[in-house]
Amino acid sequence: MDAFVAAVAAAIGLIFGSFINVVAYRVPLDRSVVSPPSACPACDRAIRPRDNIPVVSWLLLRGRCRDCGVHISARYPIVEATTAVLFTATVLIIGVAPELPAYLCFAAAALTLTLTDIDVHRLPNRILYPSTLVGAILLVIAAIIDGDLGSFARAVGGGALYFVLFLALALVARGGFGFGDVKLAFLLGLFLAYQSWDVLGAGIALGIAVGGLWAIGLLITRKADRKAKIPFGPAMILGAFIAVAAGRELADWYLGS
């Protein structure tokens, strides 16, 4: 059953990946994500439906516009394929459970936010707020179905804890973290703590560790200096993904060592 659902999730992930490309590009520009239809940025010709099949169309067109022949970035099929992989992994990790739709939503939102933070060093409210609201609604529905509202209460508490922690760090660091990271912390804490307090702790620790190592690596390779603004959101998100996948095992290993 899980394998079948994972295969369906992969197909849905390809479609969502195409939409994520649109959202990640248009939202930072304050443009609508539904209108106008996608078009070639060079010749402005609308993309035909047959040329809008995730991954497949890019391969058939050899990465070029059908009309003007301009090169189409490989990022588009990569994001589509990555979304399919994330959706598949989410099914295999969470299982066919009431909270699965919430975690699929979380995976899509997290990837979108990662792209925008890398591109423009911003975590747009137009993505953060709806993702948090929808995620919370789906989690409370899952908790009701499971008859375990305590899990949702813990999720809200975990989100608040992560939020307060990063708010304090942002105030102390003075520029080390943006307020987008603080708001992201609530979203991540919500999904981490829904699993358990141990998973929340692992997610926070991993996010900070990954971010620290990334910053050190950039400094060593001189790709950034101490005054450069380094996007921390992707590190927080990667830490959360790892924690959701293996947070309990990591916590047991750490506490038992």
Q: Please give the pLDDT value at position 215.
A: 78
- Location of structure tokens 């598949």: 88
Q: What is the CA radius of gyration of the chain?
A: 19
pLDDT digit string (tens) for 149-204? 999 999 999 999 999 999 998 888 776 678 899 999 999 999 999 999 999 999 99
List helix spans (H) across the chain: 2-26, 56-60, 75-94, 100-120, 125-146, 149-173, 179-195, 197-220, 233-256
Structure tokens, 211: 């971010």
In this structure, are residues 247 and 192 in contact, taking their beta carbons and an 8 Å threshold? yes
Domain-by-domain residue ranges, the chain?
1-96, 97-257
Low-confidence ranges of the chain (pLDDT < 50): none
Mention every residue, 6+ apart, whose C-beta is less than 8 A from residue 246: none
Q: Which SS3 state, helix, strand or coil, does residue 27 take?
A: helix
pLDDT digit string (tens) for 199-222? 999 999 999 999 888 878 877 876
Q: Please give the pLDDT value at position 255.
A: 66
Q: Give 26's Cβ-side CA count (13 Å radius).
A: 16
* Euclidean distance between CA atoms 217 and 236, whole angstroms: 16
Q: Please give the pLDDT value at position 224.
A: 63
Q: What does pTM read for this prediction? A: 0.92
